[in-house]
A and B are shown apart, each in its own frame.
Chain A
Amino acid sequence: MTQLDIVKSFLEDSEIQEKYSLSPADVAQMTLTSHYNADAQVLVGLVRQMVNVVEDGSTPNLAANRLNAHLNTTLL
Chain B
Amino acid sequence: MLIRKINITNFLCYYGAANQFEFVEGLNIVLGANGYGKSKLYDAFQWVFSDGITDNAPRATPGGLKLTNAVKGDLVSEKAKAECDIGDSVETKVVIEVDDQRNGNPRKYQLVRTYRTRRTDEKTWVEPGKSEFQILEYDIVSYKPVAEAKQAEILERLIPVDVRPYVWFQGERGISNLIDTSSNGSLKNVIKRLSDIDRWDTYIEVAERAYKTAQSAFDQVLSKSQKNQVRIGELQTEQRLLETQVRRLEEQITNASQNQQEAQEKIDALSASIEFAQTISKLNQARSQAEAAYTAAVKQSDAFDEGLSRKLFSDNWVLLGTSSLLDKFEDKLTAYDDAIAIRKATANLTKQANEKLQIRLPDNVPEPMYVRQMLDEEHCKVCDRPAPKGSEAYDAIVSLLLSEPEIIQPERPRKNLKSFFRQFYANGLGMKSSIDSINQRVQQSIQEQNAGRERVRSCKEEFEAKARELQQQEQLSGIVNARDIVNSMNGATADIKKFEGDLVGDRNKKKQHEDRLREINSELSKLSEGQVPAHLTQKKTILFDLMELTKRVKKTKYQELVQQLEDTANTHYRNINAPTGAFYGTIRFIETSDGGYRPAILDNDGREVGNLNTSLVSSLKLSIIMAIVSANKTRNYASFYPLISDAPVSDFDVVKAMTFFRETANTFRQSIVIVKELLVEDTTRIGRYKPDLVRLHELRTDLQAADKTLNVYQLDMPDGVSNAFRNELEVTIQKVNC
A interface residue numbers (CB < 8 A to B): 1, 9-10, 13, 15-16, 19, 42-43, 46-47, 50-51, 53-54, 60-61, 63-65, 67-68, 71-72, 75-76
In the complex, A32 Cα to B662 Cα: how many Å?
43
B546 contacts A46, C-beta separation under 8 Å: yes
B539 contacts A54, C-beta separation under 8 Å: no
B538 contacts A75, C-beta separation under 8 Å: yes
List of B residues within 8 angstroms of A47 by Cβ? 546, 549
- Answer whether residue B470 sits at the interface, using C-beta atoms and an 8 A cutoff: no
B198-232 interface with A by 8 A CB criterion = 199, 202-203, 205-210, 212-214
List of B residues within 8 angstroms of A9 by Cβ? 553, 557
A1 contacts B214, C-beta separation under 8 Å: no
A64 contacts B213, C-beta separation under 8 Å: yes
In the complex, A56 Cα to B374 Cα: how many Å?
174
A71 contacts B206, C-beta separation under 8 Å: no
List of B residues within 8 angstroms of A67 by Cβ? 206-207, 210, 543, 546
B interface residue numbers (CB < 8 A to A): 196, 199, 202-203, 205-210, 212-214, 534-535, 538-539, 542-543, 545-546, 549-550, 552-553, 556-557, 634
Given contacts A68-B539, A75-B535, A76-B535, 11 further A-B contacts (CB under 8 A): A42-B542, A43-B545, A43-B546, A50-B203, A50-B210, A53-B206, A60-B206, A60-B209, A67-B543, A67-B546, A68-B214
List of A residues within 8 angstroms of B212 by Cβ? 64
In the complex, A63 Cα to B199 Cα: how many Å?
14
Q: Name the distance in Å between A34's Cβ and chain B's nearest Cβ.
A: 18
| Chain A, residue nearest B204 (CB) | A60
List of B residues within 8 angstroms of A68 by Cβ? 210, 213-214, 539, 543
List of B residues within 8 angstroms of A13 by Cβ? 549, 552-553, 556
B553 contacts A50, C-beta separation under 8 Å: no
Residue pairs across A and B with Cβ atoms less than 8 A apart, 9 shown, are: A46-B546, A47-B549, A54-B199, A64-B208, A64-B210, A67-B210, A68-B214, A71-B214, A71-B535
B213 contacts A65, C-beta separation under 8 Å: yes
A71 contacts B545, C-beta separation under 8 Å: no
Whether A64 touches B206, Cβ cut-off 8 Å, given contacts A19-B545, A71-B214, is: yes
Q: Name the distance in Å between B128's Cβ and chain A's nearest Cβ.
A: 42
A71 contacts B543, C-beta separation under 8 Å: yes
List of A residues within 8 angstroms of B552 by Cβ? 13, 15
Nearest 5 pairs of A and B residues by beta carbon: A64-B209, A75-B535, A64-B210, A67-B210, A63-B206
A54 contacts B214, C-beta separation under 8 Å: no
- The one of A1, A16, A53, A76 that contacts B545, using a Cβ cutoff of 8 Å: A16
Q: Name the distance in Å between A14's Cβ and chain B's nearest Cβ.
A: 9
Chain A CB within 10 A, most for which of B202, B206, B208, B550: B206
A10 contacts B209, C-beta separation under 8 Å: no
| Chain A, residue nearest B209 (CB) | A64
In the complex, A60 Cα to B210 Cα: how many Å?
9
A54 contacts B546, C-beta separation under 8 Å: no
In the complex, A72 Cα to B217 Cα: how many Å?
12
Whether A60 touches B205, Cβ cut-off 8 Å, given contacts A13-B556, A65-B213, A72-B535, is: yes
Chain B CB within 10 A, most for which of A1, A43, A60, A76: A60
In the complex, A50 Cα to B211 Cα: how many Å?
12
B206 contacts A54, C-beta separation under 8 Å: yes
Whether A1 touches B539, Cβ cut-off 8 Å, given contacts A10-B549, A19-B545, A67-B206, is: no
In the complex, A39 Cα to B207 Cα: how many Å?
18
Q: Name the distance in Å between A57's Cβ and chain B's nearest Cβ.
A: 10
In the complex, A15 Cα to B553 Cα: how many Å?
11
In the complex, A19 Cα to B205 Cα: how many Å?
22
List of A residues within 8 angstroms of B202 by Cβ? 54, 60
| Chain B, residue nearest A62 (CB) | B206
Q: Name the distance in Å between A20's Cβ and chain B's nearest Cβ.
A: 8
List of B residues within 8 angstroms of A63 by Cβ? 206, 209-210
Q: Name the distance in Å between B439's Cβ and chain A's nearest Cβ.
A: 102
List of B residues within 8 angstroms of A51 by Cβ? 203
List of B residues within 8 angstroms of A16 by Cβ? 545, 549
Q: Name the distance in Å between A36's Cβ and chain B's nearest Cβ.
A: 14
Q: Name the distance in Å between A7's Cβ and chain B's nearest Cβ.
A: 11
List of A residues within 8 angstroms of B556 by Cβ? 13
In the complex, A67 Cα to B210 Cα: how many Å?
6
List of A residues within 8 angstroms of B542 by Cβ? 42-43, 46, 71
B553 contacts A10, C-beta separation under 8 Å: yes
Q: Name the distance in Å between B535's Cβ and chain A's nearest Cβ.
A: 4
In the complex, A10 Cα to B545 Cα: how many Å?
11
| Chain B, residue nearest A75 (CB) | B535
B206 contacts A50, C-beta separation under 8 Å: yes
Q: Name the distance in Å between A58's Cβ and chain B's nearest Cβ.
A: 8
In the complex, A51 Cα to B552 Cα: how many Å?
16
List of A residues within 8 angstroms of B550 by Cβ? 10
List of B residues within 8 angstroms of A64 by Cβ? 206-210, 212-213
In the complex, A71 Cα to B535 Cα: how many Å?
8
Q: Name the distance in Å between A75's Cβ and chain B's nearest Cβ.
A: 4
Q: Name the distance in Å between A65's Cβ and chain B's nearest Cβ.
A: 7
| Chain A, residue nearest B200 (CB) | A9
List of B residues within 8 angstroms of A60 by Cβ? 202, 205-206, 209
In the complex, A68 Cα to B535 Cα: how many Å?
11
B539 contacts A72, C-beta separation under 8 Å: yes
Q: Name the distance in Å between B271's Cβ and chain A's nearest Cβ.
A: 38
- The one of B203, B208, B534 that contacts A54, using a Cβ cutoff of 8 Å: B203
In the complex, A64 Cα to B210 Cα: how many Å?
4
Whether A50 touches B546, Cβ cut-off 8 Å, given contacts A61-B209, A64-B210, is: yes
List of B residues within 8 angstroms of A54 by Cβ? 199, 202-203, 206
| Chain A, residue nearest B552 (CB) | A13
List of A residues within 8 angstroms of B546 by Cβ? 43, 46-47, 50, 67
In the complex, A61 Cα to B208 Cα: how many Å?
10
Chain A CB within 10 A, most for which of B214, B546, B557: B546
List of A residues within 8 angstroms of B557 by Cβ? 9
In the complex, A13 Cα to B553 Cα: how many Å?
7
List of B residues within 8 angstroms of A71 by Cβ? 214, 535, 538-539, 542-543
List of B residues within 8 angstroms of A75 by Cβ? 534-535, 538-539
In the complex, A75 Cα to B537 Cα: how many Å?
10
Q: Name the distance in Å between B205's Cβ and chain A's nearest Cβ.
A: 5
List of A residues within 8 angstroms of B213 by Cβ? 64-65, 68
| Chain B, residue nearest A51 (CB) | B203
Q: Name the distance in Å between A72's Cβ and chain B's nearest Cβ.
A: 7
Chain B CB within 10 A, most for which of A10, A15, A42, A43: A10
